[in-house]
A and B are shown apart, each in its own frame.
Chain A
Amino acid sequence: DIQMTQSPSSLSASVGDRVTITCRASQDISSWLAWYQQKPEKAPKSLIYGASSLQSGVPSRFSGSGSGTDFSLTISSLQPEDFATYYCQQYNSYPLTFGGGTKVEIK
């Protein structure tokens, strides 16, 4: 199985901050990487696919980058509705696997 490691596991930030979350795969996954946002008691919401393509309807302050084994999700200017947990997921090969999550909290 491909292991996905996210860092940090949590962070505190203020509205307006630029936030970057990283995700590392245990082997080369090309650009087969997705990012999801999950709020408490809610299902994950699709944000980014193909490492950098924005899902329709997702604000442009979200961006993704990377390829191979190292990836990042950046929120350019954190908004109140962005406080949530973010997960990366590889879909290079089965079984599909997710990172452990990064919780973005209000400072």
Chain B
Amino acid sequence: QVQLQESGPGLVKPSQTLSLTCTVSGGSISNGNYYWSWIRQHPGRGLEWIAYIYYSGSTYYNPSLKSRVTISIDTSKNQFSLKLSSVTAADTAVYYCAGDGRGDGYFDYWGQGTLVTVSS
């Protein structure tokens, strides 16, 4: 059973870069079936898909965030990461990593989520 766990600072200052890592266990991140995504949820609100990465390094970003987002993968550590630059209070959210095991955009595995607050 694949499990995902997010890690990273819970507090980021405005204008700085938010950095999160997702560690995958119970399976290889290099499994060619999986696409790995980041999704966020603003407090009390709905879900927003941010980006995905494939083990080969292929990526796709939500155009609404593309200019500020970088997603990367480290297959040797079974991890993938998110960087979001120039953050503002509007980036305060719970950030989830998720796995799409069918390669079609349906998420069958989710991390527990991590709250990131942007505040000085």
Contact = CB atoms under 8 A, between A and B. Distances in A.
| Range class of the A interface residue count | 20 to 34
DSSP majority for the A interface?
Answer: loop
Interface in B13-72: 37, 46-49, 60, 62-64
Contact of B49 (A32, A45, A55, A95): A95
Given A32-B105, A95-B62, A95-B63, A89 B110 contact: no
A94 B111 CA distance: 21
B106 A91 contact: yes
Given A43-B96, A43-B112, A43-B113, A98 B106 contact: no
A101 interface: yes
A83 interface: no
Nearest to A90: B105
B49 A46 contact: no
